[in-house]
Structure 1
Amino acid sequence: MIRRRMALPTQPMAVITTVMLLILVLVAIFAPMWWGEQAVAADPDAIGLPPSSEHLLGTDKLGRDILLRTLVATRLSLVMALAATGLGAVAGLVLGALPAVLGPRAQRWFADVIATWLAFPVLLLAMLTVILLGPGAITAVVALAVTMVPSFARLAQTLSARVAGAEYLAAARMLGVSRGRQFTHYVLPNIAEPVIVNVTMSVGGGLLALSSLSFLGIGVQPPQFDWGRMLSEGFAQVYVSPIAAIGPGVAVVFAGLAFSLFGEALAAFLRNRGGSRALSRRRLGPAPRAATPAQQSAPPALLEVEGLCVSFPGESGWQRIVRDVSFRVEAGELVGVVGESGSGKSVTLMSVAQLAPAGAAVTASRISFDGTDIAPLSDRQASKALGTKVGVVFQDSLTALNPALRVGGQLAEVPRVHGGSSRADAHRQAVEALGRVDIPNPEQRAQQFPHEFSGGMRQRALIAMSQMGSPSLIIADEPTTALDVTVQRRVLVMLRKECADNGAAAIVVSHDIAVLGELCRRIIVMYAGRIVEDVDATLLARSDALAHPYTRALAASLPDLDTDRSAPLATIPGEPPDLSQELPGCAFAARCPFATDRCRTEAPPLRAHAHGGRVACWHPQDGMSREERPRAEVTV
């Protein structure tokens, strides 16, 4: 196993840049101790000597060894760059992030200050600082810090704006947490990572800027010297001895690259941590073959999935989140998938559509779509086999639509890319698709951007987009999230109408079992990454016909006209299990009143049941009415 703390040094770029930084640090520490006196001692007998075995880069106009001076100058050059970047970052953080805890008025004032500061040319600010303070090393540091403050402030302002509207910060204000603590414990920790990366990368730019100031004569002054000062001295004799400028020039480039590349490596590590560790997929083991005899003997369906497993890399190796899922969807059939959050619904269907999250490992005994087994195919081959035959309606319509493109243009991409249609014909098809989903003024709406649509209209636009290629299967991942009940019903009716008109099948993911009961013909119930029941939707109205205790509890939690309004709504006791841990038995056993020792040690297979569907339970509760069931099954 590769621990997280070791993940960064094992990246090739990080290893190289770490070695480069280590060399710089060692030189900065030991060079002044070993060669400090030699670097400043003039030797009249060795003035302007060319490179030799005794002086590898030659000597300057006072007979001082250029290589030793370059090495000794490392300390001052690095200290100045780090100090300037640190001062600029601290001041920028205060100026940009502190207003997040001071209120909207302070945010507006500080935003104006930052915008005005950014409007001044960087060189003008630096020169103005030098004029006020006079040339010198401290002046150069202050001048560079002044030019860095507005860029750090703008970054901190952008990052802290999201924190300012967070509910946890509002709760802290309600609890009377001081503004200082809000800033240090709530704002800064949530913006720290990108700021640290930006600071690391800015050190390289700071080195170049400070060297430029010293080169111009307004930075480090004699007898002190840094790389920029040495470049200025070497430039005076560049036509006589060009090598005099090579040592400090190479040092500036080397240090700048070291810090910039380290910042890039750090940014890549922070982006990918938690899912970027290279774990061997052989440790996943073979995909299970769990197809039931009933499935094996059934005629081919539009979609047949057997033994689907989806795993993600975790702290202790691969964690199997979706476990041994098998189901089938007939042509033209509407199937609902329901379960609590984290049950694996969306991951399962996105994996079937070849849209598994980054870092996921998908295995299956068989994934057959329209007669083609895509399980053994590569990602590119599988995507080509699916083509436009599968349409997807994503959960968040605002992020699913590109905010930079007009809605009509996005819909037109499908016929243009896959159908080879002309621009005009593709636009016509896009307008017609918007009209079919009852979007008013489709010609005008096609020219608008996603943010100009309401939530319900964006969701209908996604349905129209999923139908552009005349797919055989539509996968709708919680298409009614964040919509009010009226809009929900309209979107679902639209989805059912589109499927009926085009003869397409649909798989709809939702938390609301009542919604799926009205929309779909069959319901698949998932719990802890497994299918626990596959049942006809008409049985949801008769909870005593449902076999699995979890499905019954979901159905019982839905109020109806006969529900006692004076009593609290029914709930399911306990919490879903942690899927990062191995589950030896039935995952629902800890919450089930009918669980036995067998349930806790042996996972039940998904078997055919008398109600016409399938159930994974050692003690199915069919035949018991709601009054006959123990009250422990559904508690309040």
Structure 2
Amino acid sequence: MRRLPWVSAGAVGLIILAAVLAPHIGLADPVGMDVAHRLAGPSPTHPLGQDEYGRDVLSRLLWGARTSLGIAFAAAAISCVIGTILGVVGGYVRGIAELLTVRSMDVVLCFPPLLLALLVVTLLGPGASTLVPVLVIVYLPSFTRVAYAGVLSVRGHEYVTAMKVLGAGRLRIMTRTILPNIAGPILVQFSLAAASAVVLESGLSFLGLGVVPPAPSWGLMIGAARGTMVQAPLLLLWPCLALTVTILAMNALCDGLRDMLDPHPAARRVSWFSRFRRRAPTAPLARVEPDTVLDVRGLSVAIGDPAEGRYAVRDVSFQVKAGETLAIVGESGSGKSLMSLSAIGMAPAGVEVAAGTSGMDGADLLALAPGELRKLLGDRIAMIFQDPGSSLNPVHRVGAQIAEAIRAHRPVSAAEARERAVAMLRNVGIPDPERRARAYPHELSGGMRQRVMIAMAIANGPRLLIADEPTTALDVTIQAQVLDLLAALKRDGGLALLFITHSLPVVAEIADRVAVMYAGEILEEGPTAEIFAKPRHPYTAALLRSAPQDDGPAPEGISGTVPVPGDLPAGCVFAPRCDKRIEICDETRPSLFRIGPGRSSRCLRWASL
């Protein structure tokens, strides 16, 4: 973390202090005239001299600071608060809210700021009471657009999705997760707006459309000094110098505060999140076995309008039982992560669940109202994301994030939640948990961050844990530790684990059953030992051949690439890359055949394999 910018903070503090104390430090009357001594130079009585009416320049300079800074700070603060609210709501809620907030500001931007200010002041008349709302209108669009842009860049980050999985509401996400991450750009914009407002107020006062004489203002002082700059050039120097120093000090202070308040070692441009769609149930839930935790049947997920036929997931069915690990394995782009998010009602914006059900405890997760789903997410359902560096909120300490997950679902005090957070860190094997709980995510190693994510996920004792490639970014030693930890949690607590990965060695170590996924379809499913010993689909066999082995032949790559949604082959989706295909494979889309107890394959030639 960076230190407080003492130089700029001291300069701004002195300027504000001088303006505040102006009526109490025995200065001359700022509007009192002494025409006999007009344009007099500096003297013990008047340290900066006297102006064209014999008024004390120092007194008018400090009283002018009260006027100029008061108007500037008031306008910048009001436009900052209103603009940030409009930008955050418009960027997060989208839809009609975006139209009414962000797009309406584009209309204001069509007018040049100075001309807009001149128009309003001309209609309403000059004066400080008119300048504040005028400047608010001028600077409101800039704050709205900065906040809106920040939301658009942050809302897709995994730590925002993680808050959604925890069951947090919109207001909490916008204020606790999104707003701290865009505070830096907003703070910089505040400094620019405040400095610009000082200049604009001075310019309007210079033109006679701002502060009404004889009230002191830096703009009025500059305007008056222009006519006497030959006889008394210092009268022009003092207000210009005060204006320049104030603007530079304010900009430097806001830049320093942005860096100081940002706990990450490098400044970020971060950022925001989108609405989730949910679909009414298409069919009643089928009866399931008592130990089944998650029962997904006929799940189909479309990108955009389902009528356009771009399905990223098609007719996927599986079950996860208590104390069991089901591994979903396949290449990148196969639809594993999208399927898992959609199965728990978390299909992202632009994606729509077109068919299917996802049953848990007798309820269809895809048909629950947002409030009901939030009660389950982070409580009975938890998720671990692939990259803990982006899943954890970088501006909050890890202990506070775990405590927040607990308090979102448990009626406990903040102190008790902190104690439970430390206990969870201890349970997942983090040394010195009290100290680590006070650390920021960037202060921890990759393995520790992943353990923090696991601690947060299991904090409320979930029945289902979805792990989306949780070991991809870790080295093999830390990977083994994380896998052992997950296995212990499943063994001791009867946890149902849905493990998503593309690593077959990881599958062999942790999974009880395997579902092989490709191009949005499950091509083969069965017990792990049987899948590895006798694969019944060419894609499964190709994946096994591509995996490195301690002893045996070198890995063999799979030619070609995974097809994109909306551009699938007419027959088997794997046919263009399959070395076992025959003519019928290019013409017929196979269904999922039951080939034995707990075994299935989507291959027309499974028997011959």
Query: What range describes the TM-score normalised by the shorter chain of this pair?
Result: 0.5 to 0.7
Question: Once the 2 structures are TM-superposed, how far is the Cα of residue 607 of structure 1 from its aligned partner?
Answer: 2.8
- Superposed CA RMSD in Å reads 4.8
Of residues 367, 373, 390, the one that matches 2:364 is 373
**1:615 counterpart residue number:** 601
Whole-Å separation in 1 of the counterparts to 2:320 and 2:507 = 16
Verify the 8 A CA contact 1:288 1:324 in the aligned structure 2.
no
Question: Once the 2 structures are TM-superposed, how far is the Cα of residue 290 of structure 1 from its aligned partner?
Answer: 13
**2:590 counterpart residue number:** 604
**1:517 counterpart residue number:** 508
Question: Once the 2 structures are TM-superposed, how far is the Cα of residue 19 of structure 1 from its aligned partner?
Answer: 5.5
**1:436 counterpart residue number:** 427
Of residues 331, 334, 350, the one that matches 2:325 is 334
Q: AA paired with 2:585?
A: C
- 1:466 paired with 2:452, answer no
Verify the 8 A CA contact 2:343 2:366 in the aligned structure 1.
no
**Normalization by structure 1: what TM-score?**
0.54
2:297 aligned counterpart, secondary structure: strand
**2:476 counterpart residue number:** 485
1:392 aligned counterpart, secondary structure: strand
Verify the 8 A CA contact 2:288 2:295 in the aligned structure 1.
no
Whole-Å separation in 2 of the counterparts to 1:426 and 1:320 = 42
**2:527 counterpart residue number:** 536
Whole-Å separation in 1 of the counterparts to 2:527 and 2:320 = 13
Question: Once the 2 structures are TM-superposed, how far is the Cα of residue 590 of structure 1 from its aligned partner?
Answer: 1.2
**Normalization by structure 2: what TM-score?**
0.56
Of residues 541, 553, 569, the one that matches 1:552 is 541
Question: Once the 2 structures are TM-superposed, how far is the Cα of residue 394 of structure 1 from its aligned partner?
Answer: 1.5
- 1:388 paired with 2:387, answer no
Verify the 8 A CA contact 1:287 1:307 in the aligned structure 2.
no
Question: Once the 2 structures are TM-superposed, how far is the Cα of residue 206 of structure 1 from its aligned partner?
Answer: 9.9
Q: AA paired with 2:463?
A: S
- 1:402 paired with 2:393, answer yes
Question: Once the 2 structures are TM-superposed, how far is the Cα of residue 362 of structure 1 from its aligned partner?
Answer: 2.6
Whole-Å separation in 1 of the counterparts to 2:123 and 2:210 = 17
Deviations 1:219-255 (A, max 9, x none): xxxxxxxxx56668x989xxxxxxxxxxxxxxxxxxx
Whole-Å separation in 1 of the counterparts to 2:329 and 2:341 = 15
Verify the 8 A CA contact 2:344 2:366 in the aligned structure 1.
no
Deviations 1:45-95 (A, max 9, x none): xxxxxxxxxx9999xxxxxxxxxxxxxxxxxxxxxx9xxxxxxxxxxxxxx
Structure 2 runs not aligned, ≥5 long: 1-94, 117-121, 126-137, 139-145, 154-185, 215-269
Q: AA paired with 1:426?
A: A
Verify the 8 A CA contact 2:305 2:352 in the aligned structure 1.
no
Verify the 8 A CA contact 2:386 2:473 in the aligned structure 1.
no
Whole-Å separation in 1 of the counterparts to 2:194 and 2:588 = 61
**1:418 counterpart residue number:** 409
Structural mapping, 1:222-371, within 5 Å: 228=207, 301-313=292-304, 319-371=310-362
1:375 aligned counterpart, secondary structure: helix
2:565 aligned counterpart, secondary structure: coil
Whole-Å separation in 1 of the counterparts to 2:105 and 2:463 = 51
Verify the 8 A CA contact 2:282 2:357 in the aligned structure 1.
no
Whole-Å separation in 2 of the counterparts to 1:553 and 1:474 = 29
Whole-Å separation in 1 of the counterparts to 2:567 and 2:593 = 25
Deviations 1:160-219 (A, max 9, x none): xxxxxxxxxxxxxxxxxxxxxxxxxxxxxxxxxxxxx999999999996665344343xx
Whole-Å separation in 2 of the counterparts to 1:231 and 1:449 = 48
Deviations 1:238-273 (A, max 9, x none): xxxxxxxxxxxxxxxxxxxxxxxxxxxxxxxx9999
Q: Alpha carbons of 1:455 and 1:199: their partners in 2 closer, same or farther (altered >3 Å)?
A: closer
Deviations 1:338-383 (A, max 9, x none): 1111111111112223333334323442211123222222222223
Question: Once the 2 structures are TM-superposed, how far is the Cα of residue 580 of structure 1 from its aligned partner?
Answer: 4.2
Structural mapping, 1:81-100, within 5 Å: none
Q: Alpha carbons of 1:316 and 1:419: their partners in 2 closer, same or farther (altered >3 Å)?
A: closer
Whole-Å separation in 2 of the counterparts to 1:503 and 1:461 = 21
- 1:453 paired with 2:454, answer no
- 1:475 paired with 2:466, answer yes
Identity %: 36
**2:491 counterpart residue number:** 500
**2:567 counterpart residue number:** 581
**2:128 counterpart residue number:** none
Question: Once the 2 structures are TM-superposed, how far is the Cα of residue 504 of structure 1 from its aligned partner?
Answer: 0.8
Question: Once the 2 structures are TM-superposed, how far is the Cα of residue 334 of structure 1 from its aligned partner?
Answer: 0.8
Whole-Å separation in 1 of the counterparts to 2:411 and 2:576 = 55
Whole-Å separation in 1 of the counterparts to 2:124 and 2:422 = 72
Verify the 8 A CA contact 1:307 1:323 in the aligned structure 2.
yes
Question: Once the 2 structures are TM-superposed, how far is the Cα of residue 23 of structure 1 from its aligned partner?
Answer: 7.7
